[in-house]
């Protein structure tokens, strides 16, 4: 049992579950206080990057993932990633971030 608790997948899932309430509480404040997202890069930086630029979620930039796949995963959730309803991120902003992610280059390797 203790070896299961030490697995990295369990730790990432636990961190994601603990971080989710704080992310949801940030809600519209993450949209720069006016309820409007600036562009796909803005959405990525304020929502997606918290997990996908750290060790919580997988790297998604630089993989040329299709925007349709990204929007489906965001709306439905996948494994440890929670679903984000339209009340959190509207369809237009979701499409913008999906296009940004699908075209973004891979992040620079960390030394």
Which residues are the active-site residues? Answer: 80-81
User: Which 8-state DSSP code applies to residue 81?
Assistant: B
φ, ψ of residue 81 in degrees (nearest 5):
-80, 130
The number of C-alpha atoms within 13 Å of 66 and in the hemisphere containing its C-beta is 3
Contacts of 11 (CB under 8 A, 6+ apart): none
Cα torsion 48, 104, 41, 51 to 10°: value is 10
């Amino acid at each position: 049992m203790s070896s299961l608790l030490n697995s990295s997948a369990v730790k990432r899932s636990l961190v994601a579950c603990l971080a989710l309430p704080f992310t949801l509480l940030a809600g519209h404040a993450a949209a720069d206080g006016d309820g409007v997202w600036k562009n796909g890069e803005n959405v990525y930086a304020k929502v997606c990057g918290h997990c996908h630029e750290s060790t919580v979620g997988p790297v998604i930039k630089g993989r040329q993932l299709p925007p349709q796949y990204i929007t489906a995963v965001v709306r439905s959730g996948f494994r440890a990633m929670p679903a984000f309803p339209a009340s959190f991120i509207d369809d237009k902003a979701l499409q913008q971030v999906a296009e940004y992610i699908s075209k973004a280059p891979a992040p620079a390797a960390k030394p």
